Amino acid sequence: MVASEPALSVVVPIYNEQSVLPLLVARLRGVLDALGEPYEVVAVDDGSTDNTPAALLAARREWPQLRVIRLRRNSGHQPALLAGLMRARGDYVVSIDADLQDPPETIAAMLRLAQDQNLDIVYGVRADRSTDTAFKRWTASVYYRLMRRIVGNHVPAHAGDFRLLSRAAVEALRELPERTPVLRLVVPWLGFPSGEVTFEREKRAAGHTKYPLSRMVALAADSITSFSAAPLRVATWLGLAGVAVCGLLVAVTIVAYLLGATVSGWPSLYLAILFLGAVQLLCLGLLGEYVARIYTAVQARPAYYIADDTRATAPAPAQVS
Ligand code: UDP
Ligand code: MG
């Protein structure tokens, strides 16, 4: 590795955070300077419209390790984070929110754990959600339960985007052909050895949240559809159910007819309507099955990752005579 590459990069997505910026700079710098290792801070200005860009450039004059990447327009937290990750150069890369909800002091613990146990990923896991509203607590618990079901139990519950990645993990992310991965799901899915550090999520130091309900819903929709084709299959199951009900009603109608208990004309009418509806749903479901496969093919995620191959490292085999 080239000597000029820092041991640690800290990626901070920032959108209209002029009020927290001075607090962030002071606290983050204190923590990082104390580490005693070369580092860089990659501040990604996500198209801020307040005084953030000027404040970042001013901070940079005093703090040479601060690197500022400005996105042309507001692209959202996940894309901003990704932009920073893709450009970070450190052996380890930590992503952290700008609002000091993720305490920078935890970075030292993450780095130590990764180095001591040779881990590629260290998740920051919230000790509790006491600083959240009841609504956010409830939606988060539903979200993580659903995601663990869809993606797998290796998705840590209540781990957001405060985490450490090794260079290898960042490179694996970079090689994913997907343009808009949901990082908190794709990172565990990469399958690297990982650990957790718990932390107390603090209250926002200043300013207000940039994550309104609409963005939470969008993140949930991205999360589900990027790992599951189940919604596309709803039509298939509805169609099958319709066909089954239709069959049952045919039997009931025949019996009723034999008993002379039907008004002539209406059984054929409702059966035709029900049958056609069911067939249409089935066909929609069939289309869904193909769309799902096209979607997976377009995502082009590798089917597996090899952790180790003894052939690559094994000594030459002994001579057999
Ligand atoms: N953020 C961003 N672009 C956006 C929205 C948010 O870069 O479009 C940043 C924001 O500046 C902060 C982080 O993403 O550093 C998390 O946002 P926020 O604290 O508002 O979310 P919350 O903690 O309320 O979920
Ligand atoms: Mg926040």
- CA-based max dimension of the chain: 94
Closest ligand, as measured to the CA of 96: 1
Nearest Cα to Cα of residue 90 among 175, 199, 182, 166? 166
Which residue type occupies 81? L
Q: Which of 141-150, 212-221, 273-282, 301-310 has the lowest mean pLDDT?
A: 301-310
Between 302 and 108, whose confidence is greater?
A: 108
pLDDT for 1 equals 43
Mean pLDDT, the chain, rounded, equals: 89
- Note the ipTM here: 0.97
Between 12 and 280, whose confidence is greater?
A: 12
Between 242 and 49, whose confidence is greater?
A: 49
312: confidence class by pLDDT, cuts 50, 70, 90:
low
Cross-strand pairs, 122? 164, 195
Cα of 96 to ligand 2 centre, how many Å? 10
How distant, in Å, are the alpha carbons of 12, 84, 103, 111, 195 from that of 119?
Answer: 22, 21, 21, 9, 7
Which residue type occupies 90? G
In the predicted model, is pLDDT for residue 101 greater than 80?
Answer: yes
Q: Which of 40-49, 66-75, 170-179, 303-312 has the lowest mean pLDDT?
A: 303-312
Closest ligand, as measured to the CA of 77: 1
271: confidence class by pLDDT, cuts 50, 70, 90:
confident
In the predicted model, is pLDDT for residue 318 greater than 80?
Answer: no
Atom of ligand 1 minimally distant from the CA of 208: 20
In the predicted model, is pLDDT for residue 179 greater than 90?
Answer: no
* Per-residue pLDDT tens digits for 17-45: 999 999 999 999 999 999 999 999 999 99
In the predicted model, is pLDDT for residue 169 greater than 90?
Answer: yes
Contact between 158 and 140 under an 8 Å Cβ cutoff? The reply is yes
Averaged pLDDT, 1-18:
86
Between 130 and 80, whose confidence is greater?
A: 80
To 10 degrees, the CA torsion angle through 99, 104, 106, 112? 140
Which two tokens mark 106? 């935890």
DSSP result, 251-308 = HHHHHHHHTT-S-TTHHHHHHHHHHHHHHHHHHHHHHHHHHHHHHHHHHT--S-----
Averaged pLDDT, 153-178:
92
The DSSP element (H or E) to which 196 belongs, if any, is strand 194-199
In the predicted model, is pLDDT for residue 211 greater than 80?
Answer: yes
* Interacting residues of 63 by C-beta distance below 8 A, sequence separation 6+: 25, 29, 41
Identify the DSSP state of 59.
Answer: H
In testing the pocket of ligand 1, which one of 69, 139, 210 has its CB within 8 Å of the most ligand atoms? 210
Beta carbon of 97 within 6 Å of any ligand 1 atom: yes
